[in-house]
A = this chain, B = another copy of it.
Amino acid sequence: MTRIVQKYGGTSVATPGKLRLVARRVRESLRNDVEAVVVVSAMGDTTDELIALAHQVTSDPPSREMDMLLSAGETISAPLLAMALEAAGTAAVSLTGVQAGIRTSRAHRTARIVDIVPQRVLDELAAGRVVVVAGFQGVTDEMEVTTLGRGGSDTSAVALAVALGADRCEILSDVAGVHTADPRLVPDARVIPEIAYDEMLEFAAAGAVVVQPRAVEIAEAYSMAIEVRSTFDEGTGTVICRHPRMEERQKVRGIAHQNDVAKVTLLRVPDRPGVAASIFDPFGQQGINVDIIVQNLAHDGTTDVSFTIAESDLRRARMMLGAVARDVGAQGYMATADIAKVSVVGTGLRGTPGIFAKVFRTLAGAGINIEMISTGEIHLTCIIERERVGDAVRALHTAFELEKI
């Protein structure tokens, strides 16, 4: 008997018709002595609609109540999928997070799974049923309903796969897998057959979130392979695992990009110990994530400090910048949103001389100016003008011959 966990995203279950198609997909998976646990997200835009509803009631909804409200999304989609399976002749049962034994921390809206007590799930599998689990939700020791944060159903699925000792964990959605670049920018981008956990995490950090990073981290911790595939198209998709079979000549796995980026520069900041903390503490307190930070050598005892944030945080950041600049004694600041992030990702970057140079040469050859650079063990990120982002991704995709298998 093979045990699999499948997770279907919101667009895959957006309508009654799609739910019936997903039921057919699940039934196909059951051939050859397979038993299945299916994790579902809320239908379509349900979660966003519930959030909007809460904001019509109050501008500041308590997180504890938001979690109860948002849990309703998956409490709707899960029984509907179970009904679709039953209607097609497959015994099925839907379970809420609490029924599936998904115990979490008390951090409402960003709860972490601390344990899964899967007895009920195991009992239902033993009774020959497909178990449809409401994703995204869990329960604390005090029986308080929690949610796992944006994309949390991926985490539900991987954690269940680990707890159940599943042979396979499949994440099915409207994307065919992890691509060498965004296919909307690069027509000959291809699906990467295998990718390592840490590469996948870098892709996500670089803007290509195909699977929620926390889900990848759990999968990595327990060596659970994740298969990313399209719900409705054929195709093998991408396997996220520890040691992909190395394609030796492939030093770079793919090109990621992100447009939701803004750049802030504090001008001529006096260069003294503690100044960085003075700059970034206030942003942390406001819940604004700072991504890339660049600080160059000081001249005349001052230095320019640049950093990037999400464009969606720019309005709030602007409200703070005057005070921050004053506090650290900067001469002024600039803030702009006409930039984008382009990243080259792959374990092949490790210890392969010349790759960084090739990136810079390629962008220069396309006449694209690099405003900021950030490097890591398996990524190189450049901040460029937003209107050149398509050109940059295409040039790099070609330069590294990513269209070739």
- A-side interface residues toward B, CB under 8 Å? 16, 19-20, 50, 53-54, 56-62, 64-66, 68-69, 71-72, 75-76, 78-80, 82-84, 86-87, 93-94, 96, 98-99, 120, 143-145
Q: State which of B50, B80, B98, B99 has its C-beta within 8 Å of the C-beta of A53.
A: B80
Chain B residues with CB under 8 A of A61:
83, 86-87
Q: Which residue of B lies closest to A70 (CB)?
A: B79
Residue from B20, B57, B99 in contact with A20 in the complex, judged by beta carbons closer than 8 Å:
B57
Closest chain B CB from A92 CB (angstroms): 8
Contacts of A82 in B (CB 8 A): 62, 65
- Expressed in whole angstroms, the minimum distance between the Cβ of A23 and any Cβ of chain B is 9
Q: Are A143 and B98 CB-contacts (below 8 A) given A65-B79, A76-B72, A83-B62?
A: yes
Known: A53-B16, A87-B57, A143-B98. Is A93-B64 also a contact (CB below 8 A)? yes
Of A19, A72, A79, most buried by chain B (CB within 10 Å of CB) is A79
Bound together, the chains give a CA A19 to CA B56 distance in angstroms of: 10
Interface of chain A, main secondary structure: helix
Q: Using Cβ atoms and an 8 Å threshold, which residues of chain B touch A145?
A: 96
Contacts A82-B65, A96-B68, A96-B145 known; A76 to B50 CB distance under 8 Å? yes
Contact (Cβ within 8 A) A80 B69: yes
Q: List 9 A-B contacts (CB under 8 A).
A: A19-B57, A53-B76, A54-B80, A57-B87, A58-B83, A62-B82, A65-B93, A72-B76, A98-B98
Expressed in whole angstroms, the minimum distance between the Cβ of A125 and any Cβ of chain B is 17
Which of B59, B76, B99 contacts A69 (CB under 8 A)?
B76
A68 and B54 contacting across the interface, CB-CB below 8 Å: no
> Which residue in chain B gives the minimum CB-CB distance to A84?
B57
The answer to whether B71 touches A83, judged by C-beta atoms less than 8 angstroms apart, is no
CA distance A144 to B96 in the complex (A): 10
B65 engages A86 (CB within 8 Å): yes
